[in-house]
Amino acid sequence: MLKFILSRLLTFLPTFFGVTLISFAFIRLLPGDPITVLAGERGISAERHAELMTEFGFDQPMLIQYWDYLKGVVQGDLGQSLVTKKPVWDEFFTLFPATLELSICAIIFAVALGLPAGVIAAVNRGKFFDRLLMSSALVGYSMPIFWWALLLIIAFSGWLGWTPVSGRISLMYYFDSGTGFMLIDSLRSGQDGAFWSAVHHLILPTIVLGTIPLAVIARQTRSAMLEVLSEDYIRTARAKGLAPFRVNGVHALRNALIPVITVIGLSVGTLLAGAILTETIFSWPGIGKWMVDSIFRRDYPVVQGGLLLIAVMVMIVNLIVDMLYGFINPKIRKR
């Protein structure tokens, strides 16, 4: 197992350096530069601009700049934000728990509903429930996420008044963020109602962020189950006299999980990176919003470092998924 993990980590290296190169190049391809953006609407004189460019080292040839950046990265130094002057590393880990918390909730929501829905649809193939489920999955998958978010806010926050519109917790509560996870911190604070307020604030963002993964997981589970249900060993399980729940839920589902785990892994990756819209709509202080702001500010070190760290997170999730394969299906296990 250790050997497997190490060999996988080795394959991460090219990806890792590829990401540094791409993030470095792309942000510089955008018109404008950090100095101009920092100067704001009043503008800045050409001499002062050139002076500052030299000060930050942006006048150097690209290769030299990249080399300097790489030297920092391999030493664990991602640089500091041009705007806030705080290390990128610190900013990331202040904001990342918020994104992680939301992503975990969204994926739990998507799996908890999508898996059973896919199984039930496959077992009732072609019947009403299957059609209803698959057409709603298609709607969920194709719906613009911001529009869906607005609909939910209108319905649940506007008309019904059940859920808050934005933020992570009610302003009534204040406590130091220990872990950065609001659910844990609010529990630890011991303040009455703080935890429920945090849960309350999570509901809509979770649904919005989880909708697309939910649709994908439901569809993938259904198609994987349909394939597995026609296998010989399912007939064997039924020939034993096992109840349908056990045949479908144990014998079939375990085999159908491989492709499902794959899409769950891919979803987690995109959730971590792509909660941008959801975070913006719900004013969720996560890394998605942070990245967008940094791009607008041409905050080179933040964009580079942020993209790199997100890529690393996605690679770690992929590694976990690969390890899960062998755990679920021993046939795939490395011998």
Partner 1 sequence: MPLLEIRNLSVDFATSSGQFRAVDGIDLSVDKGELLAIVGESGSGKSVSMLAMMGLLPWTATITADVMSFDGHDLRALGPRQRRRIVGKDMAMIFQEPMSSLNPCFTTGFQIKEALRLHLGLDRKARHRRAVELFEMVGIPAPEDRLKVFPHQMSGGMNQRVMIAMAIACGPKLLIADEPTTALDVTIQAQILDLLTGLQRDSGMALILITHDMGVVAETAERVSVQYAGQKVEEQKVADLFETPHHPYTAALLAALPERATSRHLPTIPGVVPGQFDRPRGCLFSPRCKFADDRCKAEPPAPAGSGLGLARCHYPLNARSEVSA
Interior CA angle at 328 toward 322 and 334, to 5°? Answer: 55
Give me the amino acid identity at 224: A
Q: How far is the CB of 147 from partner 1 (least distance, A)?
A: 39
* Cβ density class 181-207: b for 16+ within 10 Å, e for less: bbbbbbeebeeeebbebbeebbbbbbb
237, 272, 311, 315: which one binds partner 1 (CB under 8 A): 237
Q: How would you class 53 by CB atoms within 10 Å of its CB: exposed for 0-12, middle for 13-18, buried for 19 or more?
A: middle
Interior CA angle at 22 toward 21 and 24, to 5°? Answer: 65
Q: How far is the CB of 331 from partner 1 (least distance, A)?
A: 5
Distance between CA atoms of 26 and 28, rounded to whole angstroms?
Answer: 5
Considering the complex, state which of residue 85 and residue 331 has its C-beta at the smaller distance from partner 1: 331
Is 233 an interacting residue with respect to partner 1 (CB under 8 A)?
yes
Distance between CA atoms of 44 and 180, rounded to whole angstroms?
Answer: 39
Q: Which of residues 255-274 bind partner 1 (CB under 8 A)?
A: 255
Q: Which stretch binds partner 1 (CB under 8 A): 19-27, 82-90, 201-209, 233-241?
A: 233-241
Q: Which stretch binds partner 1 (CB under 8 A): 37-45, 55-63, 200-208, 237-245?
A: 237-245
Is 241 an interacting residue with respect to partner 1 (CB under 8 A)?
yes
CB 275 within 8 A of CB 103: yes
* Cβ density class 91-102: b for 16+ within 10 Å, e for less: bbeebbbbbbbb
Is 329 an interacting residue with respect to partner 1 (CB under 8 A)?
yes
Q: How far is the CB of 221 from partner 1 (least distance, A)?
A: 16
3, 42, 85, 331: which one binds partner 1 (CB under 8 A): 331
Q: How far is the CB of 306 from partner 1 (least distance, A)?
A: 39
201, 222, 251, 298: which one binds partner 1 (CB under 8 A): 251
Q: How far is the CB of 133 from partner 1 (least distance, A)?
A: 18
Q: How far is the CB of 328 from partner 1 (least distance, A)?
A: 7
Give me the amino acid identity at 272: L
Q: Which stretch binds partner 1 (CB under 8 A): 47-55, 99-107, 304-312, 326-334?
A: 326-334
